[in-house]
Chain A
Amino acid sequence: MAVDIKQIRAQFPALHQEVHGHPLIYFDNAATSQKPKMVVDAIAHYYNKENSNIHRGVHYLSQKATDKYELAREAIRRFINAPSTEEIIITRGTTEAINLVSSCLSKWLFQPGDEIIISAIEHHSNIVPWQMACEQSGAILKVIPVLDSGELDMNAYRNLLSDKTKFVTVNHISNALGTINPVEEITSLAHEKGALVLIDGAQATPHMSVDVQSLNADFYCFSAHKMYGPTGVGVLFGKKEILEKMPPYHGGGEMIKEVKFEGTTYNDLPFKFEAGTPNIVGGIGIEASIRFIEEIGIENIAQQEAELLAYATQRLKDIGGIRFIGEAKEKAGVISFIIDGVHPYDAGTILDKLGIAIRTGHHCAQPVMDRYSIPGTMRASFAVYNTKEEIDTFIEGVQKVKQLFT
């Protein structure tokens, strides 16, 4: 089924505006997507009609808000095919989810000399928490190198794995390069060594179907705001048997069963990891964003974006003088490139003047830029509402940039 782009675009008020006198072309979706009206409406409706604190009140509104929040958890479970809602922890986003795991494992699992493997194409959010975990626990960080193509060096990965490996984490899709990593294989190789695995799915859930049971990773996390949902909320999936053993992250309300000054017993999953009043409206926003995705169908979204990616890549190639950063065979949603002799900052500035929003810079992945010896890239990233006509205008913009600076 082809998607009805016109009908989809009509649901995004933010897309219908002019920037510097030009119709907005929004190609910065890997940073955050725009929000459909149904997500904004769900949030407004909650605050207008249903606002209440959850899990504690016996009154009508509290019950209603609790039901909605827990329905959201069920929607998330279904969306990633997790076995149970006990394994769905609602966080502030991917970054907090990773910090939760790294912090809890530092207290519980990692010993001096243990090894944690990450990849060379991680977002800073999946580097720094593990550096902190190493500082805290005495574990050692190892890095899977990346090939020129933007694909991970799987032979090097196999060689890094050893009996010392306690933990492996990679992103499902690289935000800087668009590479889709072979996460199933990475996970099963790690499991052979008895290591736990976390997959950073921030760039994956908006673009492809994710089934945490077939991936078999121990942890999987993502953010709502990159998949048409609100900012400030995300998800950590963790296997029940591991979450049960892990110590809590933050202390406070909600995460307790009984508090006495002599000691506290912790709540059951998933509440043990959700201290304080949660981001209730965020949960409701995620539920609406999942509904939006499911109504179109994630396979249809993936197909539409694959067409845009192929079309934009070909049109850029035709211009000439473009260096693509990341040309993995398996790629999604993102084109990272530089125009020969043009600094990304200059290019981004001119495109902005033409109403075209792309991202320039290091994309919070400085080691990736160092790997390719570049100051940064220009990154165009697509969502389901983007069109080939927008790509045509973008190509004209890139040609204008070339003309100005070369």
Chain B
Amino acid sequence: MTIQEIQEEIIDEFDMFDDWIQKYDYLIELSKDVPLIDESDRVDENLIKGCQSKVWLHAKKEGDSVRFMADSDAIITKGIVALLVRVLDGQKCQDIMDNELHFIDAIGLKEHLSMTRSNGLVSMIKQMKIYALVFQAQ
């Protein structure tokens, strides 16, 4: 599936929920799906530190694609991390760089990307794109 297709799929999934509590319940469920980052990769070099919560992001090159593994110490952040990994993991470097991630706004979780949240997610998205750029150049 393309990045766009996965984003649409996620938007459809979230459309089923009537209220915010169901949405957050689902995020909590999703947080259990993140491929836990290997203990050896859960290190400071992979740490994106926010004021509120921490995110670990590890990436490796596989052909012309990028594999992402990520984790967070907060569950809601981790649920959103899981969605970001689902959208971008295994995608081609060029596609990762070119595609806008509009789904977070569309599913009503934009507030988690605002400045006051400082939860590491904004930096995580930037970092994912930087990995794609660096791997593309290699």
Contacts and interface: CB of A to CB of B under 8 A. Distances in A.
Contacts of B25: 404
Given A346-B75, A360-B52, 17 more contacts: A20-B20, A343-B75, A344-B74, A345-B52, A345-B74, A345-B76, A345-B77, A345-B119, A346-B76, A348-B52, A350-B24, A353-B21, A361-B51, A375-B54, A376-B52, A404-B25, A404-B28
B28 A362 contact: no
Contacts of B123: none
Contact of A361 (B24, B52, B76, B77): B52
Interface string A168-207: 0000000000000000000000000000000000000000
Contacts of B21: 353
Contacts of A343: 53, 73-75
Interface string A204-236: 000000000000000000000000000000000
A361 B53 CA distance: 8
B75 A375 contact: no
Interface residues of A, number: 16
Contacts of A20: 20
11 contacts: A344-B74, A345-B74, A345-B119, A346-B77, A348-B52, A353-B20, A353-B24, A361-B51, A375-B54, A375-B73, A404-B25
A200 to B, nearest CB: 21
Interface of B: 20-21, 24-25, 28, 51-54, 73-77, 112, 118-119
Contacts of A47: none
Interface in A330-353: 343-346, 348-350, 353
Contacts of A350: 24
Given A349-B76, A405-B75, A344 B24 contact: no
Contacts of B53: 343, 345, 375
Nearest to A360: B52
B44 to A, nearest CB: 15
A343 B53 CA distance: 8
Nearest to A352: B111
A339 to B, nearest CB: 12
A345 B77 CA distance: 8
A405 B28 contact: yes
Nearest to A342: B75
A348 B73 CA distance: 14
B29 to A, nearest CB: 11
A323 to B, nearest CB: 16
A360 B76 CA distance: 14
A115 to B, nearest CB: 31
Interface in A351-374: 353, 360-362
A346 B51 contact: no
Contacts of B52: 344-345, 348, 360-361, 376
A346 B74 contact: yes
Contacts of A376: 52
- 4 smallest CB-CB distances across A and B, nearest first, come from A343-B74, A345-B74, A345-B53, A345-B52
